[in-house]
């Protein structure tokens, strides 16, 4: 399967058409950004690490009956995915307080959130991804009531699966974001799941092992990503010819 035309180039990934109109190639780059693109850097091996990390997680979710656009890994930095009509919202679940939640509500970082919170954000960098609610989504036509219900249900199902997976590996899944899209009449999990889009802490030390290491200049960003993956069981051996 070969890359054809560039469809989309985001902050860390590029998407290309293939010979099959229903399949795309998602290429993971080494680019890293934070704060709406105001902090940018290239980190060696990041594309490979996130690609293989995502493939592992999508496999675990598939085993749990959660369908995604992921088909298979093609190379260290490329994966084959199904073409989706993406819904322009992000679904965020928080198991512990961190990041913007602490700033908005004055909650101490690390506070356990029980039950976990769910939030919708509009996916729009120019508007700084504002928080939105069900009414906004329906009124502005971003998704239907049925799609909203399905996204919430699937996001919490992901939480059940992944919280346990990280817990078994001695880590805490603090929070994460998911994106969904439509393939015909089917709602599928899209985009990626990697340390770029979630917060992960060591259970005992509370060491940050995610993109906050980049945001907060803590160093050893990719080393932490790899440690998370290796503790989960990700095989980072090169598969490029």
Residue-wise pLDDT for 191-231, tens only, equals 999 999 999 999 999 999 999 999 999 999 999 999 999 99
Q: Are residues 18 and 67 in the same domain?
A: yes
One-character DSSP codes across 108-119: PTT-EEEEEEEE
Strand 23-28 and strand 31-34: the pairing is unpaired
Confidence band for 131, pLDDT divided at 50, 70 and 90:
very high
Range of the domain at 60: 6-82
Beta partners for residue 86, in sequence order? 181
| Same domain (yes/no): 153, 58 | no
* 231, part of any domain: no
Mean pLDDT of 117-139: 96
Of 55, 82, 109, the last residue of a domain is: 82
At residue 77, the pLDDT reads 97
Residue 8 is encoded by which pair of tokens? 């989309």
The pLDDT, as a whole number, for residue 35 is 86
Residues 114, 211, single domain; the answer is yes
Q: What is the dihedral of CA 111, 196, 158, 174, to 10 degrees?
A: -10
Confirm whether 160 is domain-assigned. Answer: yes
Task: Please check the confidence at residue 240 and state whether its pLDDT lies above 90.
Answer: no
- The pLDDT of residue 76 is above 70: yes
Q: Is pLDDT at 190 greater than 60 in this prediction? A: yes
Residue 36 has a pLDDT of 77
| Residue 140: per-residue pLDDT | 98
Query: Residue 145: inside a domain, yes or no?
Result: yes
What pLDDT score was predicted for residue 205? 97
227 domain-assigned: no
> 150 and 112 in one domain?
yes
Which of 82, 115, 143 is the endpoint of a domain? Answer: 82
Q: What percent of the chain has pLDDT over 70?
A: 100
Predicted local distance difference test score (pLDDT) of residue 6: 97
What pLDDT, on the 0 to 100 scale, is given for residue 217? 96
Segment 55-70 shows an average pLDDT of 98
CA distance 106 to 20: 50
Boundary residue ending a domain (82, 117, 146):
82
Q: Is 165 in the same domain as 132?
A: yes
Return the biggest CA–CA distance within the chain: 51
14 lies in the same domain as 90: no
Task: Summarize the confidence of residues 28-49 as an average pLDDT.
Answer: 93
Asked whether the whole model's pTM tops 0.75, one would answer yes
Number of domains comprising the chain: 2
Instruction: State yes or no: pLDDT of 1 exceeds 90.
Output: no
Same domain? For 66 and 111 the reply is no
Distance CA 194, CA 162 (A): 12
Average pLDDT, the chain: 96
Are 172 and 94 contained in the same domain? yes
Tokens of 229: 């993956």
Q: Tell me, what's the pLDDT at 238?
A: 82
Q: Could you tell me which of 57, 60, 61, 50 has the C-alpha nearest to residue 154?
A: 61
């Amino acid at each position: 399967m070969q890359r054809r035309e560039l469809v989309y180039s985001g902050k860390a990934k590029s998407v290309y058409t293939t010979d099959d109109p229903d399949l795309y190639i998602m290429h993971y780059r080494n680019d890293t950004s934070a704060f709406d693109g105001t902090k940018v850097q290239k980190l060696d091996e990041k594309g490979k690490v996130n690609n293989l990390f995502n493939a592992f997680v999508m496999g675990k979710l598939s085993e749990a009956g959660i369908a995604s656009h992921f088909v298979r890994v093609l190379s260290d930095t490329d994966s084959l995915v199904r073409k989706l009509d993406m819904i322009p919202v992000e679904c965020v679940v928080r198991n512990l307080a961190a990041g913007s939640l602490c700033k908005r509500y004055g909650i101490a970082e690390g506070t356990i959130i029980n039950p976990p919170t769910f939030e919708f954000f509009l996916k729009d960098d120019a508007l700084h991804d504002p928080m939105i609610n069900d009414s906004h989504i329906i009124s502005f036509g971003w998704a239907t009531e049925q799609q909203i219900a399905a996204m919430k249900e699937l996001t919490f199902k992901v939480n059940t699966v992944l919280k346990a997976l990280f817990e078994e590996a001695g880590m805490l899944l603090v929070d994460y974001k998911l994106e969904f899209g439509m393939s015909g009449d089917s709602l599928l999990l899209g985009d990626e799941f990697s340390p770029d889009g979630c917060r992960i802490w060591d259970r005992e030390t509370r060491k940050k092992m995610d993109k906050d290491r980049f945001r907060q200049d803590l160093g050893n960003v990719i080393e932490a990503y790899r440690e998370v993956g290796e503790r989960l069981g990700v095989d980072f051996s090169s598969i490029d010819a």
